[in-house]
Amino acid sequence: MQTDELKKKYDELKMQLHPDVWQLMEQWSGLLKEYESDFFEFDVRGKKIKQDLVYRSLSGTRISKVYLPKYKDWGDILKWQLQENVPGEFPFTAGVFPLKREGEDPTRMFAGEGSPERTNRRFHYVSVGQPAKRLSTAFDSVTLYGEDPAPRPDIYGKVGNSGVSIATVDDAKKLYSGFDLCDAKTSVSMTINGPAPMLLAFFMNAAIDQQCEKYIIENGLSEAVNKAIESKWDIESLPKYTGEDGKKINPVKGNFDGHLPGGNNGLGLRLLGLSGRDVLPAEVYKKIKAHALATVRGTVQADILKEDQAQNTCIFSTEFALKLMGDVQEYFIKNKVQNFYSVSISGYHIAEAGANPITQLSFTLANGFTYVEYYLSRGMHIDDFAPNLSFFFSNGMDPEYSVIGRVARKIWAKAMKYKYKANERSQKLKYHIQTSGRSLHAQEIDFNDIRTTLQALYAIYDNCSSLHTNAYDEAITTPTEESVRRAMAIQLIINRELGTAKNENPNQGAFLIEELTDLVEAAVLAEFERLSERGGVLGAMERMYQRNKIQEESLYYETLKHTGEYPIIGVNTFLNKKGSPTILPSEVIRSTTAEKDNQIEAVTLFQQRHKDRAADMLQRLQQVAVSNGNLFEELMETVQYCTLGQITNALYNVGGKYRRNM
């Protein structure tokens, strides 16, 4: 009698549960079992993957990669499933994949100095013996602002400093020569924003021409192609490659005479100065191009919103810059460029400019949603572009950094699923994270590695998709081989030696982490409301809201650092006997005069070689802009005849220069 009433009540209550929720609850015991096994099987884009789920310590203890809560109360279990869940399941708080990828350390190889040849040597040097070639490229400031190297002193001094000088498609071919850009194990990241569409077009053309070279060799066409080239071009007029010994060689015939760096097989250089379409039948070229675009893997930063908010490498009016980004994304969809991130939505520079972690996260996610809204307004489908978006965060010492990835993932997933009705792939936020450059100090620089280690631990515990650890001497100079090796060791030691890092969800179930996750999520939503009150991200930018907020937070940190309320060991407290003075670098790596002159000569020769076509191509490009066509599609053609500076200046006339503000 009594029981019947209770059962009735039970059924009534059950009716109030969402059917999906009931299903989740029913699946729980199965899920627990699944994770008790020694192996785990899951799908990645239609491919079955089977991975170990267990690690045994020296003592024989069985460490599972994923632990589930031992809750009994269904409410606790359900809440955990709805807000946390296992890695790889909505809302992806603990990670977007069930398990971390095996056999690939998320280590990137950074380079960017002097000429493309020098940076290429460096890339080959740092990637020797690494199965995966993950190349990160830093460009010099001339390139970052879309100009060509030139003898004018205020330009000249910056050519090839703090980054590589790239002004033409030929420079890009040299830069990545010897790396197969369409290999699944190669991925390239380019830190470029204002002129990103042009650099991306350089890169894509380099990748396509590499595949043309491979086709030529594989089909035994080398002889025929060489003859064709000799009959059509004066070989001496084609661009040169400068070897390490300073000797200039002519690589078109594939004769490198041992001038290439170790590991570089010359792929990408045989068509230097030419395009695959100059030597291959149109149909063949078209096919190769389509295949190259569909397979090439990498990331271009291209995040113009954070440039205006924090980093200042804007060159075009914000509106035009956004249009260019939209054109790139549209081109990616049309040409099925699916393994390349069209933007890396970056909080790193916002944090470096002084923002606290909550502001970093809120502004960055808000910027991400702004791109989403803009692309939607252009008629693109959410699931066509969302997988091309990636994120980039900074990791410092503050407590909120321990949850930055998990909060980002859950906010993105919820918004994508419920606000934008996006599919599961689009719900997965992937991010690269770098330890904070701002937290490195020029005093007691040995201590910097300790900070980096702790920040790396935060990041790895938080299941980042990819991580870069800074070298301890970056606060004072360009890192040396020794310091870079130590930085890399930090990641490797955590990943391979640290026992608790064998587990992939160590943060789940920690009271502190759960509390911080809720607090940071709420704080981000509150910031969204403040931005919204100001007309969204763009409206707030117009009032310089983001910029001012970042500055205020920077000043707050500096003040506390100055007064010592915010302790920094070896900087404002625990000073050594000498008072922990600022360390000066013994020498600074700068580009050589020969490198600068070579780059200027190369760009001049490029312009001379194409002087008949350049004006036409620039006019065509401007026409596409005026008629609101896809500028990136046209840029893929323009870059074969025009230099970066020529293109930038032509676009100023149709898109407007960036207008500074204060």
Partner 1 sequence: MPFTNTKIRIVTAAALFDGHDAAINIMRRILQAKGAEIIHLGHNRSVHEIVECAIEEDANAIAITSYQGGHLEFFKYMKDLLDESGCGHIKIFGGGGGTILPAEIEELQQYGITRIYSPDDGRMMGLEGMIEDVINKAGQASPTLQGGILESAERMPFPLGEVYDIRLIARAITLAEQVENYSHLVDRLKANASKPLKSEIPRSTGGGASDAVAILGITGTGGAGKSSVTDEIVRRFLNSYSDKTIAVISVDPSKKKTGGALLGDRIRMNAISSSRAYMRSLATRQSDFALSKYVQDAIDICKAAGYDFIIVESAGVGQSDASILDYVDVSMYVMTPEYGAPSQLEKINMLDYADVICINKFDKAGALDALHDVRKQYKRNHELWEAKDDELPVVGTIAAQFNDAGINELFERLMETVAKKTGVNFNGEIEHHAHLKDTTDNSTIIPPRRVRYLSEIAETISGYNTWAEEQAAIATKLYQLGGVIKMLDEK
Residue 88 touching partner 1 (CB under 8 A) = no
Using CA atoms, how far apart are residues 391 and 430, in angstroms rounded to an integer?
6
In this structure, the number of other CB atoms found within 10 A of the CB of residue 118 comes to 23
Which residue from 14, 232, 286, 485 is in contact with partner 1, where contact means CB under 8 A?
14
Per CB under 8 A, which of residues 486..545 are in contact with partner 1? 521, 525-526, 528-529, 531-532, 535-539, 542
Cβ contact 456:467 at 8 Å: yes
Binding mask 560-599 for partner 1 (x = CB under 8 A): ----------------------x-xx--x-x---------
Q: Quote the least distance from Cβ 291 to partner 1, whole Å.
A: 34
Residue 382 touching partner 1 (CB under 8 A) = no
CA distances from 23 to 32, 368, 421 (A): 15, 32, 20
- Total of residues contacting partner 1 (CB under 8 A): 92
Specify the DSSP class assigned to residue 660.
-
Report the residue number, 290 or 588, with the smaller CB distance to partner 1: 588
Report the residue number, 104 or 558, with the smaller CB distance to partner 1: 558
Per CB under 8 A, which of residues 149..208 are in contact with partner 1? 152-159, 161-162
Which residue from 35, 55, 374, 557 is in contact with partner 1, where contact means CB under 8 A?
374
Report the residue number, 98 or 194, with the smaller CB distance to partner 1: 194
Give the CA count within 13 Å in the CB-facing half-sphere of 268. 27
Report the residue number, 198 or 460, with the smaller CB distance to partner 1: 198
Using CA atoms, how far apart are residues 335 and 296, in angstroms rounded to an integer?
12
Q: Quote the least distance from Cβ 189 to partner 1, whole Å.
A: 20
Report the residue number, 169 or 304, with the smaller CB distance to partner 1: 304
Per CB under 8 A, which of residues 17..56 are in contact with partner 1? 17-18, 21, 25
Report the residue number, 63 or 78, with the smaller CB distance to partner 1: 78
Which residue from 112, 116, 354, 479 is in contact with partner 1, where contact means CB under 8 A?
354
Using CA atoms, how far apart are residues 406 and 365, in angstroms rounded to an integer?
13
CA distances from 82 to 90, 151, 410, 418, 513 (A): 8, 61, 10, 13, 16
Report the residue number, 320 or 461, with the smaller CB distance to partner 1: 320
Residue 333 touching partner 1 (CB under 8 A) = no
Which residue from 302, 358, 361, 415 is in contact with partner 1, where contact means CB under 8 A?
415
Which residue from 231, 377, 563, 627 is in contact with partner 1, where contact means CB under 8 A?
377
CA 218, 220, 221, 222: dihedral to nearest 10 degrees? 90
Residue 137 touching partner 1 (CB under 8 A) = no
Using CA atoms, how far apart are residues 549 and 528, in angstroms rounded to an integer?
14
Using CA atoms, how far apart are residues 261 and 118, in angstroms rounded to an integer?
9
Q: Quote the least distance from Cβ 52 to partner 1, whole Å.
A: 33
Q: Which stretch binds partner 1 (CB under 8 A): 77-85, 177-185, 389-397, 423-431?
A: 77-85
Q: Provide CB contacts within 8 A for 649, sequence distance 6+.
A: none
Q: Which stretch binds partner 1 (CB under 8 A): 16-24, 96-104, 499-507, 637-645?
A: 16-24
Per CB under 8 A, which of residues 99..128 are in contact with partner 1? none
Residue 373 touching partner 1 (CB under 8 A) = yes
Per CB under 8 A, which of residues 294..313 are in contact with partner 1? 307, 311-313
Using CA atoms, how far apart are residues 635 and 198, in angstroms rounded to an integer?
7
Q: What is the CA radius of gyration of the chain?
A: 26
Helix (H) or strand (E) holding 495: none
Report the residue number, 322 or 631, with the smaller CB distance to partner 1: 322
Cβ contact 344:302 at 8 Å: yes
Report the residue number, 254 or 536, with the smaller CB distance to partner 1: 536
Report the residue number, 173 or 349, with the smaller CB distance to partner 1: 349
Using CA atoms, how far apart are residues 245 and 181, in angstroms rounded to an integer?
26
Residue 627 touching partner 1 (CB under 8 A) = no
Report the residue number, 170 or 553, with the smaller CB distance to partner 1: 553
Per CB under 8 A, which of residues 433..472 are in contact with partner 1? 442
Report the residue number, 142 or 229, with the smaller CB distance to partner 1: 142
The label of the residue with tokens 């996750």 reads: 517
Q: What is the DSSP string of 557-602?
A: HHHHHHHTSS--BTTTBS--TT--PBPPPS------HHHHHHHHHH
Q: Provide CB contacts within 8 A for 74, sequence distance 6+.
A: 25
Q: Which stretch binds partner 1 (CB under 8 A): 75-83, 130-138, 228-236, 336-344?
A: 75-83
Structure tokens at 573: 């407290």
CA distances from 21 to 8, 79, 97, 269, 307 (A): 20, 10, 22, 58, 42
Per CB under 8 A, which of residues 253..282 are in contact with partner 1? none
Which residue from 92, 320, 331, 332 is in contact with partner 1, where contact means CB under 8 A?
320
